[in-house]
């Protein structure tokens, strides 16, 4: 397992230490703390009925944000349903992320210049699509990459294998992440496969694979940066397995993790918390303080409050909106239905 920062916030691998400025290190911490607050508030808002579909992210901050921090704006992200934080840090406004959760099309309207799809619900589909985006970049001669994420359970899908295999066959600039949080809802990773690592599945595609400490933000950043450089230099795709953990339930739709996980296991992973270890590291370099952290927390809470207000104010969907988003030019049947619903909506 590739690691730079151990559980105690000590650098254990100086050679691979990424070249990050003090400001960049602080920005990484800021993003992780912010995202932890976002998770806590999202769970609360979901319980109050002010958000809809929500897949908790606490525990996965290093995996999600360390990898994202190594990307450039022109890189295209194909996220899974738990990967909303990457979208937000790629430029999706918070209120739109909330609209996605509630089930409003505007949540999926990526602003101009935000190169991403909205979160993919069909597990594995983002992998085959990533092969296509990456091939497109290669054919265009663009120096950018396609990046996608799935979970440990997702590695059992056919589309997972097909995606990495196609990208390999075309030498396409793609980075495939597996966030192994050890459970696919209630099914532990040992029941997905007899393979000892998920990274080794790269061998089947003939591409590079690596297993990384997904609770170590520096390792996640360094590996992603490396994969990106390889990809834009024409060396093909990479599969990166991040060993991580979700502290919360699978989603907020009634999953109860106490049915399948022990307290001991939770405690073991909480000791590996990505924020705790990075905080220790930054404090040892005099780059972080409680005061700074509280400032981030307050900022996050304020932003979330403002965003949920904006979400509330956003115009409700009409059937005519949904119809007009179906085709560039409406076919006969939808033209008729458009008239019907215009009439209904005018009453």
Partner 1 sequence: MAQMTMIQAITDALRTELKNDENVLVFGEDVGQNGGVFRATEGLQDEFGEDRVFDTPLAESAIGGLSIGLALEGFRPVPEIQFFGFVYEVMDSINGQMARTRYRSGNTKQQPITIRSPFGGGVNTPELHADSLEGLVAQQPGLKVVIPSTPYDAKGLLLASIRDNDPVVFLEHMKLYRSFRGEVPEEEYTVDLSKADVKREGKDVTLIAYGAMVHACLKAADELEKNNINAEVIDLRTVSPIDVDTIIKSVEKTNRVVVVQEAQRQAGVAANIVTEIQERAILHLEAPVLRVTAPDTVYPFSEAEDIWLPDHKDIMEKVDQVINF
* Minimum distance, C-beta of residue 153 to partner 1, in the bound complex (Å): 17
Pairwise CA distance, residues 282 & 77, whole Å? 29
Is residue 260 among the annotated active site residues?
A: yes
Indicate which single residue of 69, 76, 177, 245 sits in contact with partner 1 (rule: CB under 8 A).
Answer: 76
> Distance from first CA to last CA of the chain, Å, rounded?
63
* Minimum distance, C-beta of residue 164 to partner 1, in the bound complex (Å): 10
Is residue 68 among the annotated active site residues?
A: no
Tell me which residues in 38-57 interact with partner 1 (CB under 8 A): none
Q: Which is nearer to partner 1, 185 or 322 (CB)?
A: 322
Is residue 104 among the annotated active site residues?
A: no
Pairwise CA distance, residues 37 & 58, whole Å? 9
Indicate which single residue of 32, 33, 97, 117 sits in contact with partner 1 (rule: CB under 8 A).
Answer: 117
Pairwise CA distance, residues 99 & 308, whole Å? 9
Say what angle helices 22-47 and 274-284 make with each other, to 10 degrees: 150
Nearest to 209 by CA among 266, 281, 161: 161
Pairwise CA distance, residues 319 & 344, whole Å? 10
Stretch touching partner 1 by CB under 8 A, among 63-71, 108-116, 179-187, 272-280: 108-116
The secondary structure of 112-149, three-state, reads: CCCCECCCECCCCHHHHHHHHHHHHHHHHCCCCCEEEE
Pairing of strands 208-213, 238-243: parallel
What residues form DSSP beta bridges with 240? 177, 210
* Minimum distance, C-beta of residue 115 to partner 1, in the bound complex (Å): 9
Q: Which is nearer to partner 1, 8 or 111 (CB)?
A: 111
Indicate which single residue of 3, 129, 155, 156 sits in contact with partner 1 (rule: CB under 8 A).
Answer: 129
- Using CB under 8 A, count the residues that bind partner 1: 41
* Minimum distance, C-beta of residue 280 to partner 1, in the bound complex (Å): 41
* φ, ψ dihedrals at 262, nearest 5°: -90, 160
* Minimum distance, C-beta of residue 107 to partner 1, in the bound complex (Å): 8
176 counts as binding partner 1 under rule CB under 8 A: no
Q: How many CB atoms lie within 10 A of CB 254?
A: 7
* φ, ψ dihedrals at 176, nearest 5°: -105, 115
Contact 329, 69 (CB under 8 A): no
Catalytic residue among 68, 250, 261, 279: 250
Catalytic residue among 30, 90, 246, 261: 246
Contact 34, 296 (CB under 8 A): yes
Tell me which residues in 8-27 interact with partner 1 (CB under 8 A): none
Indicate which single residue of 136, 171, 182, 266 sits in contact with partner 1 (rule: CB under 8 A).
Answer: 136
Helix %, strand %, coil % of the chain (to 5): 55, 10, 35
Stretch touching partner 1 by CB under 8 A, among 4-12, 31-39, 107-115, 299-307: 107-115
Contact letters for partner 1, residues 147-166 (x by CB under 8 A): -----------xx--xx-xx
Which residues have CB under 8 Å from 318's CB, separation 6+?
341, 345
Q: Which is nearer to partner 1, 51 or 174 (CB)?
A: 174
Indicate which single residue of 13, 109, 193, 299 sits in contact with partner 1 (rule: CB under 8 A).
Answer: 109
E strands, the chain, in order: 76-78, 146-151, 174-180, 183-184, 187-188, 208-213, 238-243
Tell me which residues in 310-339 interact with partner 1 (CB under 8 A): 322, 324-328, 331-334
* Minimum distance, C-beta of residue 110 to partner 1, in the bound complex (Å): 6
Indicate which single residue of 20, 169, 265, 287 sits in contact with partner 1 (rule: CB under 8 A).
Answer: 169
Interface residues with partner 1 (CB under 8 A)? 76, 105-106, 108-110, 117-118, 122, 125, 127-137, 139-140, 146, 158-159, 162-163, 165-166, 169, 322, 324-328, 331-334
Active site residues per annotation: 246, 250, 260
């Amino acid at each position: 397992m590739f690691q730079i920062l151990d559980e105690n916030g000590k650098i254990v691998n100086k050679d691979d230490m990424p070249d990050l400025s003090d400001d960049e290190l602080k920005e990484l911490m800021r993003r992780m703390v912010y995202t932890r607050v976002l998770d806590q508030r999202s769970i609360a808002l979901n319980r109050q009925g002010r958000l809809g579909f929500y897949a908790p992210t606490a525990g996965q901050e290093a995996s999600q944000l360390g990898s994202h921090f190594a990307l450039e704006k022109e890189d295209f992200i194909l996220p899974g349903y738990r990967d909303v934080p990457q979208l937000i840090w790629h430029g999706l406004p918070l209120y739109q992320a909330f609209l996605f959760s509630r089930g409003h099309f505007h949540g999926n309207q990526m602003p101009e210049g935000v190169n991403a799809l909205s979160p993919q619900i069909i597990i594995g589909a983002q992998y085959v699509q990533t092969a296509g985006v990456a091939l497109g970049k290669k054919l265009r001669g663009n120096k950018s990459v396609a990046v996608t994420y799935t979970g440990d359970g997702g590695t059992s899908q056919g589309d997972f294998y097909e995606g990495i295999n196609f990208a390999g066959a075309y030498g396409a600039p793609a980075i495939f992440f597996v966030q192994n949080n050890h459970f696919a809802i209630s099914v532990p990773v040992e029941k997905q496969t007899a393979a000892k690592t998920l990274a080794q599945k790269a061998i089947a595609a003939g591409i590079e694979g690596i297993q990384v400490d997904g609770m170590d933000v520096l390792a996640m950043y360094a590996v992603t940066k490396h994969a990106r450089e390889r990809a834009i230099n024409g060396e093909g795709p990479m599969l990166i397995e991040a060993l991580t953990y979700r502290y919360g339930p699978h989603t907020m739709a009634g999953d109860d993790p106490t049915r399948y996980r022990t307290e001991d296991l939770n405690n073991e992973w909480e000791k590996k918390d990505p924020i705790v270890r990075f905080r220790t590291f930054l404090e040892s370099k005099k780059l972080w303080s409680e005061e700074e952290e509280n400032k981030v927390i307050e900022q996050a809470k304020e932003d979330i409050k403002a965003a949920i207000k904006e979400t509330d104010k956003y115009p409700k969907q009409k059937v005519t909106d949904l119809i007009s988003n179906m085709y560039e030019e409406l076919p006969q049947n939808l033209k008729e239905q458009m008239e019907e619903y215009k009439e209904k909506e005018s009453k």
